[in-house]
Amino acid sequence: MMVESASETIRSTPSGQNGVSSLSNQPDGGGTGGGAAGGGREGATSGETNGEMSPVELLHFQQQQALQVARQFLLQQATGLSSPSSNEGKQPAVQVPVSVAMMSPQMITPQQMQQILSPPQLQALLQQQQAIMLQQLQEYYKKQQEQLHLQLLTQQQAGKQQPKEPLGNKQLAFQQQLLQMQQLQQQHLLNLQRQGLVSLPPGQGSVPLQTLPQAVCPSDLQQLWKEVTAAQPVEDSIKQEGLDLTTTTSNSTSFSAAKVSPPISHHLLPNGQSTMHTPRRDSSSHEETPGSHPLYGHGECKWPGCETLCEDLGQFVKHLNTEHALDDRSTAQCRVQMQVVQQLEIQLAKESERLQAMMAHLHMRPSEPKPFSQPLNLVSSATLSKSTSDTFPDGLPHPPTSATAPITPLRQGPSVISSSTLHNVGPIRRRNSEKFCTPISSELAQNHEFYKNADVRPPFTYASLIRQAILETPDRQLTLNEIYNWFTRMFAYFRRNTATWKNAVRHNLSLHKCFVRVENVKGAVWTVDEHEYQKRRPPKMTGSPTLVKNMISGLGYGALNASYQAALAESSFPLLNSPTMINTSSASGMLHVGHDDVSSTVEQVNSNGSNSPRLSPQQYSHPVHVKEEPAEAEDDSRPVSLMATTNQNVTIPDDRDLEEELPVEDLS
């Protein structure tokens, strides 16, 4: 029986790991091959226990048995009487009996564990416990489901020959059992997750549930739904057998409609177990009106699979109370709907994780999932910023996102990372020097850890970086070697290809007049001539939408924006399909315009799609600049220092003033 398998030991080398990894690799159609490994020893078991034990009882029994063997094992460990098993010498740390792994922490106190086992053993034990528990749960449920399906199919085959009759009862019972098992399975797994017994590694959070055999894939749900719906004649018979149901509107209409209509309604029920008569509060607006019902719309019943036409609400209510009263069928249908919801939630979580992974891959900062009810901020928040409650690695404060304002905050989260790093793989010709983007100082302050650890090329020119390195020092001067060190210290990217970038640094130092070589007591040091540095600036940005557009595309935003538009269109978020919305929110978010000129231009577009001035001084000026580089402000004794002055007290009376301010930007 299962008890025997519970006391098996894991052969850690191949099979032990495979056992774990197989959790996420269960083939979809695992009906034949998926359970092959354990099918031999458990195949008969599941069938036997199926009728005798509930899953909970079985698990409990397993745990009890596991505890017995675990005690023996721990006793052996404590007394040093290791078994002469050939496996032990090779994998002592992972060689833990399945039974031990099956134990829940409640059975043996952590103190006992720690006293008996060494930390590696403990760790291995816990991991095995999680993995095996999950695996055996899956196997068990899979067996159960396979059996149920098998019996269901058998019954269906027989039912074709002998329609109607008590056969339907059995069929319905099987279906309900199947549903209950699925529900139990998910609840159990959820409980395990909540208790920490089953930890899901990042990126695979939904895998175990997904890989559960027959779990809740949409096709299965549809099939289930059809089956449940098809069991309606049985339902009728049940009714006539004495359930307290009023009769007898013709079921034929709804029944036939169920076969034609999509099996799953888009009106998702809440997770309520039984309150089927109470009006649901859905997010849909039309369902909030008092004269409507969540399950009634467009003159027809929205009960999944029903679609019975009802002339008015009263008729619908009558229909609801008669056809969808609290009975086995409705309960089963509700369960199916719950499965649908759960599946969708799982799918949502999975997609969210995928998004996170994509963003992580693109070196964006992962964001907290935002409710879809805020589509205006979705793009910007999802692509670029963490939620406003998050703190950034540097601990710098960031302005909170206004819940009401559709405009993405000027500065939140990584500014250039999101856009610039998209094209930072491989050499690019034009860097986003701070004249186009976030001030390098704030960018570096915000994403210091990121650049420090990620092999991502910083989106700034060599000149900007050199200047930043120099300006970061108290005396505003650095030797070449110190500049080198700053590069390597600040950027993982510059820890390789040293010849190339060092040559570029030297080249820039020599080439640009803004870098002044000064003979010092300790040798030659390099300083920055801010006046020269500003002189080399290109023509200022005018803030025209065209320019902004070009700038955005130059930052690599365009492609991503298109992608997100496509993705969002696919996700059928109507508001997000508005180009204005997409461009505005995502553009500002994507750019993370800490930089004043960019922020201003984007913000202007943000307002209404045009470049009309809408900026308030509060929006425009950000004290973050001051906070980030207090030492770099006016205390500079260098002859020409425009640094920080504009950043601290920028006010934007109007567009023209804004334009005139722009060239001076970035003097942080």
Partner DNA sequence: GGTTTTCTAAACATAG
Partner DNA sequence: TCTATGTTTAGAAAAC
Distance of alpha carbon 265 from the chain centroid: 25
Does 429 bind DNA (CB under 7 A)? Our answer is: yes
Q: Report residue 642 as tokens.
A: 């425009």
* Minimum distance of DNA from residue 493's CB (angstroms): 10
Please say which residue, 96 or 440, places its beta carbon nearer to DNA.
440
List phi, psi (to 5°) of 515: -100, 120
List phi, psi (to 5°) of 560: -65, -40
Site residues for DNA, window 288-347 (CB under 7 A)? none
The number of residues that bind DNA (CB under 7 A) is 37
* Minimum distance of DNA from residue 503's CB (angstroms): 5
Instruction: State the Cα–Cα distance between residues 132 and 139, nearest whole angstrom.
Output: 10
Helices (H), 231-272: 232-240, 251-260
**What is the x/- site pattern for DNA, positions 486-515, by CB under 7 A?**
-----------x--xx-xx-xxxxxx----
Where do the DSSP E strands lie in 73-144?
Answer: none
Sign of CA dihedral 388, 389, 394, 398: positive
Does 550 bind DNA (CB under 7 A)? Our answer is: yes
The binder of DNA chosen from 255, 462, 487, 557 (CB under 7 A): 462
The binder of DNA chosen from 53, 107, 547, 575 (CB under 7 A): 547
Query: Exposed (0-12), middle (13-18) or buried (19+): which is 427, by Cβ within 10 Å?
Result: exposed
* Minimum distance of DNA from residue 362's CB (angstroms): 18
CA distances from 75 to 88, 106, 116, 129 (A): 16, 18, 8, 18
Please say which residue, 291 or 539, places its beta carbon nearer to DNA.
539
5-13, 263-271, 302-310, 547-555 -> range binding DNA (CB under 7 A) = 547-555
* Minimum distance of DNA from residue 463's CB (angstroms): 6
* Minimum distance of DNA from residue 535's CB (angstroms): 8
Q: Report residue 300 as tokens.
A: 């027809």
Please say which residue, 324 or 457, places its beta carbon nearer to DNA.
457
158-166, 171-179, 319-327, 461-469 -> range binding DNA (CB under 7 A) = 461-469
* H or E segment to which residue 515 belongs: strand 515-520
* Minimum distance of DNA from residue 530's CB (angstroms): 15
Q: Report residue 539 as tokens.
A: 């023509």
Does 539 bind DNA (CB under 7 A)? Our answer is: yes
Does 431 bind DNA (CB under 7 A)? Our answer is: yes
- Written as one letter, the residue type at 424 is N
Residue 248 CB coordination number (10 Å): 10
CA distances from 89 to 8, 11, 97, 150 (A): 17, 12, 15, 44
91-99, 301-309, 371-379, 480-488 -> range binding DNA (CB under 7 A) = 480-488
Length of the chain, in residues: 668
Q: Report residue 319 as tokens.
A: 């229909």
Please say which residue, 255 or 501, places its beta carbon nearer to DNA.
501
Does 517 bind DNA (CB under 7 A)? Our answer is: yes
* Minimum distance of DNA from residue 276's CB (angstroms): 58
* Minimum distance of DNA from residue 509's CB (angstroms): 6
Inter-residue long-range contacts of 294-300, CB under 8 Å, 24+ positions, other chains counted? 294/267, 295/267, 295/320, 295/324, 296/320, 297/267
Instruction: State the Cα–Cα distance between residues 139 and 29, nearest whole angstrom.
Output: 14
List phi, psi (to 5°) of 367: -115, 160
* Minimum distance of DNA from residue 541's CB (angstroms): 8
Where do the DSSP E strands lie in 263-329?
Answer: 296-297, 300-301
DSSP 49-80: HHHH--HHHHHHHHHHHHHHHHHHHHHHHHHT
Does 484 bind DNA (CB under 7 A)? Our answer is: yes
Does 536 bind DNA (CB under 7 A)? Our answer is: yes
* Minimum distance of DNA from residue 577's CB (angstroms): 27
Helix axes of 328-361 and 232-240: crossing angle, nearest 10 degrees: 140
The binder of DNA chosen from 41, 277, 430, 496 (CB under 7 A): 430
Please say which residue, 155 or 527, places its beta carbon nearer to DNA.
527
Please say which residue, 506 or 531, places its beta carbon nearer to DNA.
506
Please say which residue, 107 or 454, places its beta carbon nearer to DNA.
454
51-59, 70-78, 125-133, 427-435 -> range binding DNA (CB under 7 A) = 427-435
Nearest partner of 142 among 57, 209, 218, judged by Cα: 209
* Minimum distance of DNA from residue 586's CB (angstroms): 18
12-20, 98-106, 428-436, 616-624 -> range binding DNA (CB under 7 A) = 428-436
Please say which residue, 21 or 553, places its beta carbon nearer to DNA.
553
Please say which residue, 460 or 491, places its beta carbon nearer to DNA.
460
Please say which residue, 152 or 437, places its beta carbon nearer to DNA.
437
Does 601 bind DNA (CB under 7 A)? Our answer is: no
* Helices and strands (H, E) in the chain, number of each type: 31, 4
List, in sequence order, every residue forming a beta bridge with 656; answer none if it has no partner.
none
The binder of DNA chosen from 225, 460, 487, 557 (CB under 7 A): 460
Please say which residue, 547 or 567, places its beta carbon nearer to DNA.
547
* Minimum distance of DNA from residue 458's CB (angstroms): 9
Sign of CA dihedral 377, 378, 379, 382: positive
The binder of DNA chosen from 5, 461, 584, 586 (CB under 7 A): 461
* Minimum distance of DNA from residue 290's CB (angstroms): 55
Does 77 bind DNA (CB under 7 A)? Our answer is: no
* Minimum distance of DNA from residue 468's CB (angstroms): 12
Instruction: State the Cα–Cα distance between residues 322 and 236, nearest whole angstrom.
Output: 11
Contact residues for DNA, defined by CB under 7 A? 427-431, 433, 460-463, 479-481, 484, 497, 500-501, 503-504, 506-511, 517, 523-524, 526, 536, 538-539, 547, 550-551, 553-554
